Amino acid sequence: MSRIIGWLWGRLPIGWLQLMHNKTRLIAAVGGVTFANVLIFMQLGFMNALFETSVFSHRSFDADIVLVSSDFRSLREANPLPRSRMYQALAVPGVHYATPVYIGTRFWTDTSTGDTTNFRVTGVDPNADVFDDKDLSAKARQLRLPDTAIVDQRTRDFNANIQATLQSGRSVNVEIGGRSISFVSLFDQGASFDVDGSLIVSDQTFFALFPNRRPGTPTLVLLKIDDPSQAAEITEHINQHLAHGDVKAMTKQAFIEAEQSYQATQTPIGFVFGFGVGIGIVVGLVIVYQVLSTDVQDHLSEYATFKAIGYPPRFFFGVVLEEALSLAALGFIPGLVICLVLYELAAAKTGLPITMPWTRPLFVFCLTAAMCTLSGVIATRRLNAADPAELF
Amino acid sequence: MASEFAIETKQLCHTFGTGAAGVRVLHNVDLNIKRGEVVILMGPSGSGKTTVLTLVGCLRSVQEGSVKLLGTELNGASDETLMRMRHRIGFIFQAHNLHKSLTATQNVQMGLQIHGRQANRNWREACRHMLELVGLGDRVDFMPDQLSGGQKQRVAVARSLVGNPEVVFADEPTAALDKESGHRVVSLLRRLADERQTTIFMVTHDHRVLDYADRIIKMEDGRVVEEKSILFPGMESANH
Ligand SMILES: Nc1ncnc2c1ncn2[C@@H]1O[C@H](COP(=O)(O)OP(=O)(O)OP(=O)(O)O)[C@@H](O)[C@H]1O
Ligand SMILES: [Mg+2]
């Protein structure tokens, strides 16, 4: 290893040799970096799960443009909009299809287990083409029967008996909001931070479950256009055309991003995860700085000797940087491995999609390297200022 | 070369501390040391020998007076200039200051590496040869912790000589050495002066090595009080 670095650097790998010389300190330092990495990875994992799960429903819709009430921030607290806007939007050239969607949440207590589940209920026209997933749109045809629902099989802690019965093709009767509802089929979506799972019902069943919601006031209107590449222009036209100010049109992508930005900036949970990443960075910085500055302190007279021999400041910075990056790399690898295991455990426990995209290790490593470099810069400042004779 | 003197100081003064707390430890020190000369600086403890050496050796910024090292004025010189001058000199310190994580050879290599990749071509032979010259040919891969104080000191000597310096500054190089290795180190310095015109400026209390010098300068309380030339340097000890 030291041969390789030495060959690359064109000099003795002093930083590396110095680190390897004091094994106790090395282990403590690597442990610190690993810990900081685990912290950062876990927070990013949860934060990403928050972003992903919060837009599961958004993504599932087959639409180019979405109409929402003009004060839209998040699907969870979206206000309804007048259905007449749907017809006005249909009149805009290029828009060829529109369908309303009704969204609300309902608790359901499973009488066999006593568990309570918080469902997001999505009411759709069973004859319409609502979902990207064509199988799901086909299943939605079954909802023409009143008081039927399709249930998310990845609902958090979903009752296995119900799942098995549904898989065998039979339906299950439950009581939700004082109404008898029949689960007729399963679909695949997943839990999120605010709801445990999803139900898809017909618009008629939706009104039965939410007596205060009226047919004329959907939560969303999904629009499809002739040429999807013109989504931005047509969105603009619709917004000009619907000049009442009570609704706005967004491209599907903008709709997803609006929700994610709301989750990141406006919810306490988004803040908590961002804060967690910050803490991880600070912990890492403090530990690495502590190690590097103690190390510089311990080698001050040797460094002074090198300075007396004529080594320039960048040489010392190079040595400390070499140590910093070695620590970053040595701490990163176990951190990554531990996190992959923890991700599996957390995903299994929460039903959240906690996964490791390949960009994240790259990002965290760059962050770790930057954090270590910064510590290194701070640690060598004292060294560069002094005359060699004052350092012996 | 421009100047016949390797080291020239005029009215060199130095003060530690500032204002009322300032203590002047050097008073108008004038020195002229020729290329290839071996000069020993003596004097009681606290008389300012190390201070002179560090000022002339580019280890401390010159405050007052003039110091010319190899023709370059050090008073007011930039960091860049000081660094370049340090490449041309060798320093043997009172404390050996070997790097504990490096082997003897690697420590010596640090003295060579400063001269760039070109100088590093045959570094292994160069370092080994230097270690043999100081009598450590059988200890090349030892870590400093495995060496005695005197052996460490000799590694430090090898480190400062391996780059072929034009001037060698030595601050009590024989303090930690027994009689034999002391003589070996100082006679090595003497040989460098004779064969390569290396200038040697050395502080020592060690009377055993005085007769290797061309000249002995005595200091007291920050002043030069006596200069004495030696007619046949090295003769007396050769008879030992
Ligand atoms: N960094 C410093 N700060 C303040 N005073 C110093 C410093 N270094 C040396 N001195 C003072 O300067 C004076 C000369 O010190 P110097 O180290 O040059 O003496 P020396 O002749 O080398 O002595 P010795 O033979 O004991 O090594 C002493 O009085 C010492 O106390
Ligand atoms: Mg001294």
Pocket test for ligand 1, best of B40, B50, B223, B225 (most atoms within 8 A of CB): B50
Residue of A nearest to B121 (CA): A10
The Cα B236–Cα A278 span in angstroms is: 73
The Cα A176–Cα B198 span in angstroms is: 98
CB pairs under 8 A between A and B: 69
Q: Are residues A141 and A203 in the same domain?
A: yes
**Contact call for B86 and A309, based on CB within 8 A:** yes
pLDDT at B240: 42
Residue B121 carries which side chain, given as an amino acid letter?
Answer: R
Count of domains for chain A? 2
**Contact call for B87 and A310, based on CB within 8 A:** yes
The Cα A34–Cα A32 span in angstroms is: 5
Does A257 reside within a domain?
Answer: no
Side-chain half-sphere of B82: how many Cα atoms within 13 Å? 23
Among A252, A285, A304, identify where a domain stops. A252
Q: Which long-range contacts (CB under 8 A, 24 or more apart) does B137-143 make?
A: B139/B104, B140/B103, B140/B104, B140/B105, B141/B103, B141/B104, B141/B105, B142/B103, B142/B104, B143/B100, B143/B102, B143/B103, B143/B104
Q: What is the pLDDT of residues B140-179, one digit of tens each?
A: 999 999 998 888 988 998 999 998 899 999 998 888 788 8
Q: Give the ipTM.
A: 0.82
Instruction: Tell me the two tokens of residue B202.
Output: 């050395």
Q: Which DSSP category does A191 fall into? A: -
B194 close to B130: Cβ distance less than 8 angstroms: no
Q: Are residues A99 and A160 in the same domain?
A: yes
Q: What is the pLDDT of residues A206-260, one digit of tens each?
A: 999 999 898 889 999 999 999 999 999 999 999 998 877 889 999 999 999 999 9
Does A262 reside within a domain?
Answer: no
Residue A79 carries which side chain, given as an amino acid letter?
Answer: N
Q: Are residues A187 and A106 in the same domain?
A: yes
State the DSSP string of chain B.
---SEEEEEEEEEEEES-GGG-EEEEEEEEEEEETT-EEEEE-STTSSHHHHHHHHTTSS---EEEEEETTEE-TT--HHHHHHHHHTEEEE-SS----TTS-HHHHHHHHHHTTHHHHHTTHHHHHHHHHHHTT-TT-TT--GGGS-HHHHHHHHHHHHHTT--SEEEEESTTTTS-HHHHHHHHHHHHHHHHHH--EEEEE---GGGGGG-SEEEEEETTEEEEEEE-SSTTHHHHT-
Q: Are residues A342 and A248 in the same domain?
A: no
Distance from CA of B202 to the nearest CA of A (A): 16
Residue count (chain B)? 240
The Cα B51–Cα B28 span in angstroms is: 13
Instruction: Return the closest-CA partner of residue B201 out of B39, B5, B43.
Output: B39
Is residue A276 helix, strand or coil? helix
| Beta pairing class for A179-187 and A172-176 | antiparallel
Does A258 reside within a domain?
Answer: no
pLDDT at B9: 93
**Contact call for A304 and B97, based on CB within 8 A:** yes
CA triple B161-B163-B166, angle to 5 deg: 75
For chain B, say whether A304 makes contact (Cβ under 8 Å): yes
**Residues in CB range of A164: below 8 A, 6 or more apart:** none
The Cα A47–Cα A189 span in angstroms is: 18
- From the list B59, B100, B114, which residue is nearest A388 (CB)? B59
Instruction: Tell me the two tokens of residue B114.
Output: 């400063």
Instruction: Return the closest-CA partner of residue A14 out of B154, B110, B95, B121.
Output: B110
**Contact call for B117 and A302, based on CB within 8 A:** no
Rounded to the nearest whole angstrom, what is the distance from the C-alpha of residue B196 to the centroid of ligand 2? 27
The Cα B187–Cα B76 span in angstroms is: 35
A129 close to A62: Cβ distance less than 8 angstroms: yes
- pTM confidence score: 0.72
Q: What number does the ligand 1 atom closest to the CA of B205 have?
A: 25
The Cα A41–Cα A361 span in angstroms is: 8
Instruction: Return the closest-CA partner of residue B53 out of B204, B164, B158, B181.
Output: B204
Instruction: Return the closest-CA partner of residue B87 out of A10, A315, A382.
Output: A315
The Cα A264–Cα A48 span in angstroms is: 10
Does A381 reside within a domain?
Answer: yes
The response to whether residue B22 sits with its C-beta less than 6 Å from ligand 1 reads no
B162 close to B106: Cβ distance less than 8 angstroms: no
Q: What is the largest CA-CA distance in chain B?
A: 54
Rounded to the nearest whole angstrom, what is the distance from the C-alpha of residue B158 to the centroid of ligand 1? 26
* Position B239 confidence tier, pLDDT thresholds 50, 70, 90: very low
Does A174 reside within a domain?
Answer: yes
Q: Are residues A122 and A207 in the same domain?
A: yes
Instruction: Tell me the two tokens of residue B120.
Output: 């590093």
**Residues in CB range of B172: below 8 A, 6 or more apart:** B94, B203, B204, B205, B206
- The residue whose CA is least distant from atom 2 of ligand 1 is B16
CA triple B173-B176-B179, angle to 5 deg: 90
pLDDT at A2: 63
Q: Are residues A94 and A238 in the same domain?
A: yes
- From the list A12, A20, A310, which residue is nearest B86 (CB)? A310
Q: CA-CA distances (angstroms) from residue A376 to A286, A304, A323, A327, A342?
A: 11, 17, 8, 11, 30
Token pair 């370092």 is found at B127
Distance from CA of A18 to the nearest CA of B (A): 5
pLDDT at B44 over 70: yes
Q: CA-CA distances (angstroms) from residue A97 to A62, A90, A94, A201?
A: 11, 7, 9, 21
The response to whether residue B16 sits with its C-beta less than 6 Å from ligand 1 reads yes
**Contact call for A302 and B83, based on CB within 8 A:** no
Q: Could you give the strand order of the β-sheet that contains A220-225, starting from the edge strand earlier in sequence?
A: A172-176, A179-187, A148-152, A197-202, A116-124, A95-109, A220-225, A65-69, A247-251
**Residues in CB range of A122: below 8 A, 6 or more apart:** A57, A101, A102, A103, A198, A199, A200, A201
Does A263 reside within a domain?
Answer: no
Q: Are residues A101 and A33 in the same domain?
A: no
Does A259 reside within a domain?
Answer: no
For chain B, say whether A385 makes contact (Cβ under 8 Å): no
pLDDT at B238 over 50: no
- Number of the ligand closest to the Cα of B54: 1
For chain B, say whether A388 makes contact (Cβ under 8 Å): yes
Task: Please name the residue ranges forming H helices in A61-195.
Answer: 84-90, 134-140, 160-167
Range of the domain at A319: 2-53+268-391
Q: Are residues A65 and A188 in the same domain?
A: yes
Among A218, A252, A286, identify where a domain stops. A252
For chain B, say whether A305 makes contact (Cβ under 8 Å): yes
Token pair 């296995």 is found at A160
Rounded to the nearest whole angstrom, what is the distance from the C-alpha of residue B47 to the centroid of ligand 2? 8
Does A35 reside within a domain?
Answer: yes
Instruction: Return the closest-CA partner of residue A190 out of A357, A354, A351, A355.
Output: A351
Q: Which of B14, B51, B59 to mutate to test the interface with A (most CBs of A within 10 A)?
A: B59
Among A204, A219, A252, identify where a domain stops. A252
For chain A, say whether B184 makes contact (Cβ under 8 Å): no
Instruction: Return the closest-CA partner of residue A196 out of A267, A253, A117.
Output: A117
B153 close to B182: Cβ distance less than 8 angstroms: no
Q: Are residues A225 and A277 in the same domain?
A: no
Q: Are residues A81 and A132 in the same domain?
A: yes
Distance from CA of B95 to the nearest CA of A (A): 8
Q: What is the largest CA-CA distance in chain A?
A: 91
- Number of the ligand closest to the Cα of B17: 1
Q: Are residues A15 and A99 in the same domain?
A: no
Q: What is the pLDDT of residues B196-210, one digit of tens each?
A: 899 999 999 888 888
Instruction: Tell me the two tokens of residue A177.
Output: 């909001």
Q: Which of A21, A22, A309, A322 to mutate to test the interface with B (most CBs of B within 10 A)?
A: A309
The response to whether residue B144 sits with its C-beta less than 6 Å from ligand 1 reads no
**Contact call for A17 and B101, based on CB within 8 A:** yes
Q: Which of A9, A12, A314, A320 to mutate to test the interface with B (most CBs of B within 10 A)?
A: A12
Is residue A198 helix, strand or coil? strand
Instruction: Tell me the two tokens of residue A316.
Output: 């010392």
The Cα A284–Cα A373 span in angstroms is: 11
pLDDT at B2 over 80: no
pLDDT at B1 over 60: no
Q: Are residues A197 and A323 in the same domain?
A: no
- From the list B95, B100, B110, which residue is nearest A309 (CB)? B110
The Cα B58–Cα A152 span in angstroms is: 77
- Tens of each residue's pLDDT in chain A, 392 residues: 666 666 666 678 888 888 888 898 899 889 988 998 898 899 889 888 888 888 989 999 999 999 999 999 998 889 999 999 999 999 999 999 999 999 999 999 988 888 899 999 999 999 998 999 989 999 999 999 999 999 999 898 888 899 999 999 899 999 998 899 999 999 998 888 888 999 999 999 999 999 989 888 999 999 999 999 999 999 999 999 887 788 999 999 999 999 999 988 888 888 888 888 888 888 888 888 888 888 888 888 888 888 888 888 888 888 888 888 898 899 999 999 999 999 999 888 877 888 888 888 998 888 888 888 888 888 788 777 767 777 66
